[in-house]
C-alpha cells in the first residue's frame, strides 16, 4: 500500500471522526421506550393489570447521550405498589409523579418533552378468581369437502383474576381472532387469549387442535323406535320396529357410529289425540358431528296392546 494512500485514509478517518463528534454534540429530540414495572406487590394481592408496561418518552439532549439511551440499556422505572395504592383494587401514578420517577433514571442534562401515556394506572384484587372454559374466535375454514370434526384445547380452561363484578360477567375466555383457511390435515395453533382490561388470565397462551374429517353422505339401519309417554299397562308395537336414518358426517366418525347412538320416538299421547292407521315417528337425538339427519320414513303402522 502506497504512502499517499495511507495518508489519504488517515485524513479520511480523522475527518469522519471530527464530523461524528460535531454531529453528536448537537441537540436532538428522540422517542425512547421506558419499561414500567410494579414492584412490591403484597402476597395477598394479585395484579389484574399488566405487571410491566411500556411508555414512549420523547427526550431532548446531546446526540451522544441520546445514543446511550437507544443502544446501551433499557430505561426501567420501578413503581412501588404500596406508595401508589389507592385502595379498592386501584392504584395510579400521576403525570407529574411519573415524570419525576423517569427523570431519576436519566442524565441530569436530559429533558422530557412528552410521555405517551402520561400516567400509569394499575388494578388488583385479593386473589378472587374463577375458572372458565377456553373458546376460539375468528375464521377457521378447512378445504372444500372437509369439515372440523372436533376442537381440542390444551388447557381446556384457565384461571381468571378480576373484580367480583367482572368475574360474574365472564363465562368463557376467547382467543385473539384466528384466521386460517384451506387446510386438510389437523391444524395445531398456539395462540394468545384475548386481553380484557383489568383482567388477568393464567395461562395467557393455549394450544388448540382443529381435527378435520372428509364429508360423506351415509345412512345407518336398525335404529329402534322407542315409545314415549306410555301409560302403565299399555305397549306400543310399531311395524317395522326399526328404521333407517340418512345423514352427512365425516368418514372417520361414521366408522364409530352405532344404531344406539340415534333416538327415534313415537308419542303415545299424539296417537291418542290424532287417531290414524299410521303414527308419526320423530328423530329426537343424533350424535355430535352429524348434520342433515333425516328418517327414511316418517310414519309407520302400529298396534297398541295391553300388557
CATH of the domain at 237: 2.170.120.30
Query: Residue range 259-278: average pLDDT?
Result: 94
pLDDT at 13: 65
Domain identity same for 224 and 261: yes
pLDDT at 5: 62
The whole model's pTM is what?
A: 0.69
Domain identity same for 64 and 102: yes
In a domain, residue 90? The reply is: yes
Last residue of a domain, one of 214, 245, 270: 214
Name 92's Cβ contacts closer than 8 Å, sequence gap at least 6: 84, 86, 119, 120, 121, 122
C-alpha dist (Å) from residue 89 to 49, 63, 125, 198, 270? 10, 43, 5, 10, 60
Domain identity same for 147 and 204: yes
Domain identity same for 111 and 165: no
Last residue of a domain, one of 163, 193, 214: 214
104-148 pLDDT, tens digit per residue, is 988 888 889 999 988 999 999 988 999 999 999 999 999 988 989
Backbone angles phi, psi at 264, to 5 degrees: -120, 130
Backbone angles phi, psi at 140, to 5 degrees: -130, 105
CA separation for the pair 19, 92 (Å, rounded): 46
Residue 255 has pLDDT above 80, yes or no: yes
Mean pLDDT of all residues belonging to the chain: 89
Query: Residue range 181-191: average pLDDT?
Result: 95
Question: Vertex 15, ends 14 and 21: CA angle to 5°?
Answer: 90
In a domain, residue 40? The reply is: yes
Domain identity same for 175 and 267: no
Domain range for 69: 23-125
In a domain, residue 6? The reply is: no
Least confident of 36-40, 50-54, 92-96: 50-54
In a domain, residue 7? The reply is: no
CB 45 within 8 A of CB 124: yes
In a domain, residue 44? The reply is: yes
Amino acid at each position: 500500500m502506497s504512502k499517499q494512500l495511507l495518508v489519504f485514509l488517515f485524513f479520511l478517518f480523522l475527518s469522519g471522526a471530527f464530523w461524528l463528534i460535531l454531529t453528536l454534540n448537537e441537540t436532538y429530540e428522540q422517542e425512547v421506550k421506558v419499561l414500567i414495572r410494579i414492584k412490591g406487590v403484597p402476597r395477598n394481592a394479585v395484579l389484574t393489570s399488566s405487571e410491566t408496561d411500556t411508555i414512549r418518552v420523547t427526550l431532548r439532549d446531546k446526540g451522544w447521550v441520546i445514543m446511550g439511551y437507544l443502544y446501551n440499556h433499557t430505561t426501567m422505572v420501578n413503581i412501588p405498589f404500596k406508595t401508589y395504592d389507592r385502595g379498592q383494587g386501584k392504584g395510579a401514578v400521576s403525570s407529574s409523579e411519573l415524570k419525576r420517577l423517569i427523570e431519576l433514571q436519566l442524565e441530569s442534562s436530559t429533558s422530557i418533552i412528552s410521555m405517551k401515556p402520561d400516567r400509569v394506572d394499575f388494578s388488583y384484587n385479593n386473589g378472587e378468581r374463577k375458572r372458565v372454559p377456553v373458546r376460539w374466535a375468528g375464521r377457521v375454514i378447512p378445504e372444500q369437502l372437509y369439515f372440523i370434526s372436533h376442537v381440542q384445547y390444551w388447557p381446556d380452561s384457565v384461571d381468571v383474576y378480576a373484580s367480583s363484578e367482572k368475574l360474574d360477567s365472564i363465562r368463557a375466555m376467547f382467543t385473539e381472532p384466528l384466521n386460517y383457511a384451506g387446510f386438510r390435515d389437523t391444524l395445531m395453533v398456539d395462540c394468545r387469549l384475548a386481553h380484557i382490561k383489568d383482567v388477568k388470565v393464567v395461562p395467557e397462551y393455549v394450544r388448540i387442535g382443529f381435527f378435520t374429517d372428509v364429508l360423506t353422505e351415509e345412512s345407518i339401519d336398525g335404529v329402534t323406535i322407542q315409545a314415549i309417554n306410555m301409560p302403565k299397562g299399555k305397549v306400543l308395537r310399531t311395524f317395522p320396529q326399526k328404521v333407517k336414518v340418512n345423514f352427512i358426517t365425516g368418514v372417520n366418525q361414521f366408522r364409530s357410529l352405532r344404531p344406539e347412538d340415534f333416538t327415534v320416538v313415537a308419542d303415545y299421547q299424539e296417537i291418542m289425540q290424532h287417531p290414524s292407521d299410521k303414527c308419526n315417528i320423530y328423530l329426537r337425538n343424533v350424535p355430535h358431528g352429524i348434520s342433515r339427519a333425516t328418517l327414511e320414513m316418517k310414519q309407520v303402522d302400529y298396534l297398541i296392546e295391553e300388557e
